[in-house]
Amino acid sequence: MSETDGADAFGALKIIRIGNSLGVVLPREIIADLNVEKGDRLYLTRSPEGYRITKSDPDFEKRVALARRIMSKRHNALRELTK
């Protein structure tokens, strides 16, 4: 098995200067896979393997999962509230 354990490797990303900040340029393939365009936000989170870039807000995903657990646990009370 390869060093990347079967994951697609896109090579190294070069850090460039953008005004007073630093940034990286993502290859076209990654932009297409993420389905993003100029002005969209990407989220960088730590993972056991290093870092993860995603289009979805990880905090929002956590809040939705919590809401689903509450709705599942308290479905009778929520049903009464809708009456």
Mean pLDDT in consecutive groups of 10 residues from the start of the chain, 83 residues: 54 90 91 91 90 82 84 82 80
pLDDT at 8: 65
Pairing of strands 43-47, 50-54: antiparallel
Q: Tell me if 51 sits within 8 A of 45, measured CB to CB.
A: yes
Residues paired with 46 in a beta bridge = 51
**Residue 47: DSSP 8-state:** E
Please name the residues in contact with 70: beta carbons below 8 A apart, sequence gap of 6 or more: none
Are 55 and 35 spatial neighbours (Cβ–Cβ below 8 Å)? yes
Give the per-residue pLDDT at 15: 93
pTM of the predicted protein model: 0.55
Provide φ and ψ at 21, rounded to 5°.
-110, 175
